[in-house]
Amino acid sequence: MFKRFKKKVNKPNEKETLNLHNIPEHIAIIMDGNGRWAKQRKMPRIKGHYEGMQTIKKVTRAAHQLNVKYLTLYAFSTENWSRPNEEVNYIMGLPVNFLNSFLPELIEKNVRVETIGFTDQLPEKTIQAIETAKSQTAQNDGLTLIFAINYGGRAEIINSVRHLIQDARENADFSIDTIDESLFESYLMTANYPDPELLIRTSGEQRLSNFLIWQLSYSEFIFYKKLWPDFEETDLIECIKTYQLRQRRFGGL
Ligand code: FPP
């Protein structure tokens, strides 16, 4: 008989309990592995993205329940336009689908929807869905759910430099000595958020892929084996426990 056993991947902390007093204020996630998830099931890649969207709902609920203050999700990078048209079009429709089905729950849970990225370059239907969600949740002050859409860290930095120089040119009193980290950060798309304490990337890949390259300078990185559509609330808790162990060791030194 073929003996089945459950492989323990990424579950080193099962016996640890979650410390509710040390939940990261800001968690950033690179949602990777949708295509591989679909391929493993001999399904089209877009099915993986659809399931990935369902995972976003689960993770948002979990983050809300854990009192996470900011959750930033890498939904579409400035490099993702090079994918086949059919896939790009499908991904661009997902915010519409997501918000049609989930906006009432986001409102009920006091979640504020925001975006970072060059959203003005998105298709009109995507912009409309996002703008509606932003305006209908603008007064909420629970979890802030930030979608990075058409976002790239290098492009963000170049964009910030351009704006900073423009402001400097328009202000005769401007002195370059006033340029410091805090001033520069005020030009980033993330100016209103603290830096993430924790970055999670699913699917086992160990890269930043141009995501929040300035903001993640001091963050803890967790590269998690599971593919994004398989990621669940318990996996988020697992990641936070790993983060808490790292914090504790650091504090003990
Ligand atoms: C990475 O997996 C995933 C993406 C590039 C797209 C992620 C988008 C969503 C989950 C939906 C966005 C929805 C909303 C509501 C904004 P991959 O395709 O690179 O996977 P692979 O590496 O296995 O091919």
For 114-137, write each residue's pLDDT tens digit: 999 999 999 999 999 999 999 999
Take atom 1 of ligand 1 and give the residue whose Cα is closest. 32
- Residue 177 CA to residue 150 CA, distance in Å, equals 33
Q: What number does the ligand 1 atom closest to the CA of 98 have? A: 15
Total count of residues recorded for the chain: 253
User: Which amino acid does the sequence have at 148?
Assistant: A
Is a pLDDT exceeding 90 seen at residue 13?
A: no
Q: What is the pLDDT of residue 249?
A: 55
Q: What is the pLDDT of residue 203?
A: 98
**Exposed / middle / buried, residue 164 (Cβ in 10 Å: 0-12, 13-18, 19+):** middle
CA distances, 102 to each of 137, 141, 236 (Å) = 12, 18, 20
For 44-96, write each residue's pLDDT tens digit: 999 999 999 999 999 999 999 999 999 999 999 999 999 999 999 999 999 99
Percent of the chain with pLDDT over 70: 91
- Residue 97 CA to residue 194 CA, distance in Å, equals 29
CA distances, 13 to each of 6, 72, 158, 250 (Å) = 16, 24, 40, 17
13, 19, 22, 80: the active-site residue? 80
For 132-183, write each residue's pLDDT tens digit: 999 999 999 999 999 999 999 999 999 999 999 999 999 999 999 999 999 9
Largest CA distance in the chain: 81
3-state secondary structure of 142: coil
**Residue 96's CB: how many other CB atoms inside 10 A?**
16
The pTM of the full predicted model, rounded to 2 decimals, is: 0.93
For 197-217, write each residue's pLDDT tens digit: 999 999 999 999 999 999 999
Ligand 1 centroid – CA 220 distance (Å): 22
Ligand 1 centroid – CA 88 distance (Å): 10
1 confidence band (pLDDT: 50, 70, 90): very low
- Residue 53 CA to residue 173 CA, distance in Å, equals 48
